[in-house]
Structure 1
Amino acid sequence: MSKTLIAAAAAPLLLVGAASAQTAPAPAPAQDQAHAEHHAHPTIDSPIEALVNDPATKAVLEKHLPGMDKHPAYGQFKGMTLRQVAPCSQGAITDEKIAAIDADLKALPAA
Structure 2
Amino acid sequence: MKRTLLAGLAGLSLALGAGVAMADESAPAPAPAAAHAAASVESTPIFELVDNPATKAVLDKHVPGVAEHPSYDMFKGMTLRQVEPMSEGVLDDAKLTAIQADLDALAKH
TM over 0.5: yes
Q: Secondary structure at 1:8's aligned position in 2?
A: helix
Residue 42 of structure 1 is matched in structure 2 by 39
CA distance in 2, matches of 1:81, 1:56: 17
* Change in CA separation of 1:38 and 1:74 when aligned onto 2, cut-off 3 Å: closer
* Change in CA separation of 1:93 and 1:82 when aligned onto 2, cut-off 3 Å: same
Percent sequence identity is 48
Residue 11 of structure 2 is matched in structure 1 by 12
Q: Secondary structure at 2:64's aligned position in 1?
A: coil
**RMSD (Å) for aligned C-alpha atoms:** 2.0
Over residues 9-44 of structure 1, what are the superposed CA-to-partner deviations in whole Å (9 max), with x where a residue is unaligned? 11111222343434xxxxxxxxxxxxx757345322
Q: How many equivalent residue pairs?
A: 97
Letter in 2 for 1:54: N
* Change in CA separation of 1:38 and 1:70 when aligned onto 2, cut-off 3 Å: closer
Query: Higher helix proportion, which one?
Result: 1
Residue 107 of structure 1 is matched in structure 2 by 105
Taking structure 2 as the reference length, the TM-score comes to 0.78
Return 5+ residue gaps in structure 1 as ranges.
23-35
Letter in 2 for 1:19: V
